[in-house]
Amino acid sequence: IGAHKFTLAGQRIQGKGGYTFYVDGGSTNYAALLDYKTFSYTLDNLLFYDKAVGEHTFGLTLLQSQTVYSRDTSTITGNGVPLPSQLWNSLTSGTVTGQITTSSNTVRQQLLSYMARLNYSYMDKYLLTVSARQDGSSVLAEGKKYSLFPSAALAWRINKENFMNATWVNDLKLRLGAGVTGNSSIAPYSTQGAIISLFYPYAGGNVAGAIPNSVFANKDIGWEKTTQYNLGVDYSLFSRRVTGSVDVYTSTTNDLLMQRSIPTVTGYTTTFANVGKTSNKGIDINVTTVNINRKDLTWTTTINAAWQKEKIIALSNGNQDDINNNWFIGQPVGVLYGFRSLGIWQVGDTAAMRGFTANSFSPGNVRVADINGDKKIDPNNDRTIIGRTRPNWVVGMTNTVTWKAFDFSIFIYG
């Protein structure tokens, strides 16, 4: 196997080659060469303006940003390579006895953004931030590529008030925020009808043709938007030996971007779509302690804990469950839907097994729960939600020990 790679900032050119050579003469020798190049960059144009008037401080930030990503791929394969020394370096009709196939592919996507943000501070105790951002994504449908995302936040440095005279409190800030964010993470060209080339034998030769892709093109895909409200506290205590934050939030996401299954009678199997609405609420807790802080030795511990509860409020077909995609109103995204097991049928369960006249059970089979009690196990009436793919609680802890120029870190989560 051979490979080469050349990397610059924002650019990667890489190729791979491989071959299979048989010495018994009973198989066809095969070689392939793959070359692909990726190129990406982000260009940010920023303008800052700051002004202080007495105890009032103003700050204005303007941003124009562009992100471009491209990938080009080409492949050549050949059957019937006569000599192992050729590898993949001579895949031509004159040197290969079998069929030669070639393919190429290109992907382009862009994100264009404009942002304005105003910061205001009074006596460095009362803080206000207001911003507006407009993003445009090339992967979305015509007329829905651009959207505006506003946000605002208030903060109060309580430790700077005269009534806060506790010397062990270094910093204590209360925050309140609200904002809208967007998501456009779908595959490029999902709004266009891609085709797959296919050659058909005709009149003694091969005629170029095409078949549709298995993914149905949706020409109405827009931004997924999440509106979130957040209340939080930042703190620093005991000469900054203990720092952390606590955040409580609630959010609503509209027009979720997801790949969904569709009836195969359409000629397709899946499509990307804005499928519905979900709500989410949760708590994030972060604590960092400096356990040892000496000249050549430090030991810090960081604990993170997060709890969230998500549920689907609506789907593209209203309040009706979408069983084919395992989406259910009132349940989180990513549930497991299937038959519930009650154990294994035993030899002594013969009488109970006879009650299921529509099913042929025998000892050793899985004993499936009869959800509707009709003595018949079928997928339409006896499947139920049996689990989740996403936990409600996530907890992690990181311990980092630094001694002179060496550091050791261990991370545990669950």
- Per-residue model confidence as pLDDT tens for the chain (414 residues): 444 444 455 555 555 555 555 444 555 677 778 888 888 999 999 999 999 999 999 999 999 999 999 999 888 887 777 766 666 667 777 677 677 778 888 889 999 999 999 999 999 999 999 999 999 999 998 999 999 999 999 999 999 998 888 889 999 999 999 999 999 988 888 777 666 666 667 777 667 766 666 677 788 889 999 999 999 999 999 999 999 999 999 999 999 888 777 777 777 777 888 888 999 999 999 999 999 999 899 999 999 999 999 999 988 777 788 888 888 888 898 889 999 999 998 988 888 888 887 778 889 889 988 888 888 888 888 898 898 888 889 999 999 999 988 999 999 988
- Asked whether residue 404 is assigned to any structural domain, the reply reads no
pLDDT of residue 274: 86
Contact call for residues 381 and 372 (beta carbons, < 8 A): yes
* Rounded Cα gap, residues 57 and 120, in angstroms: 6
Please report, to the nearest 10 degrees, the dihedral formed by the alpha carbons of residues 373, 378, 384, 386 taken in order.
110
- Asked whether residue 162 is assigned to any structural domain, the reply reads no
- pTM comes to 0.76
Which amino acid appears at position 165 of this protein?
Answer: N
* Rounded Cα gap, residues 205 and 198, in angstroms: 13
Range of the domain at 373: 340-382
Collapsed DSSP state (helix, strand, coil) of residue 68:
strand
pLDDT of residue 33: 80
List of residues 6+ apart from 190 with CB closer than 8 A: 139, 215, 217, 218, 221, 272
* Rounded Cα gap, residues 141 and 372, in angstroms: 44
Of 349, 327, 336, the closest CA to residue 278 belongs to 327
- Asked whether residue 401 is assigned to any structural domain, the reply reads no
Of 257, 258, 9, the closest CA to residue 147 belongs to 257
- Asked whether residue 84 is assigned to any structural domain, the reply reads no
Structure tokens given for 208: 């170029």
Contact call for residues 51 and 30 (beta carbons, < 8 A): no
- Asked whether residue 370 is assigned to any structural domain, the reply reads yes
* Rounded Cα gap, residues 74 and 80, in angstroms: 21
- How many structural domains compose the chain? 1
Q: Where are the alpha helices (DSSP H) in 232-344?
A: none
Contact call for residues 333 and 310 (beta carbons, < 8 A): yes
DSSP bridge pairs for 64:
45, 114
- Asked whether residue 356 is assigned to any structural domain, the reply reads yes
* Rounded Cα gap, residues 39 and 196, in angstroms: 25
pLDDT of residue 7: 47
pLDDT of residue 253: 94
Collapsed DSSP state (helix, strand, coil) of residue 324:
helix
Which amino acid appears at position 245 of this protein?
Answer: S
pLDDT of residue 6: 46
* Rounded Cα gap, residues 123 and 161, in angstroms: 10
Residue with tokens 């005269």: 162
Backbone φ, ψ for residue 334 (5° rounding): 95, 35
* Rounded Cα gap, residues 23 and 347, in angstroms: 57
- Asked whether residue 360 is assigned to any structural domain, the reply reads yes
Collapsed DSSP state (helix, strand, coil) of residue 100:
strand
- Asked whether residue 132 is assigned to any structural domain, the reply reads no
pLDDT of residue 149: 97
Collapsed DSSP state (helix, strand, coil) of residue 359:
coil
Which amino acid appears at position 145 of this protein?
Answer: K
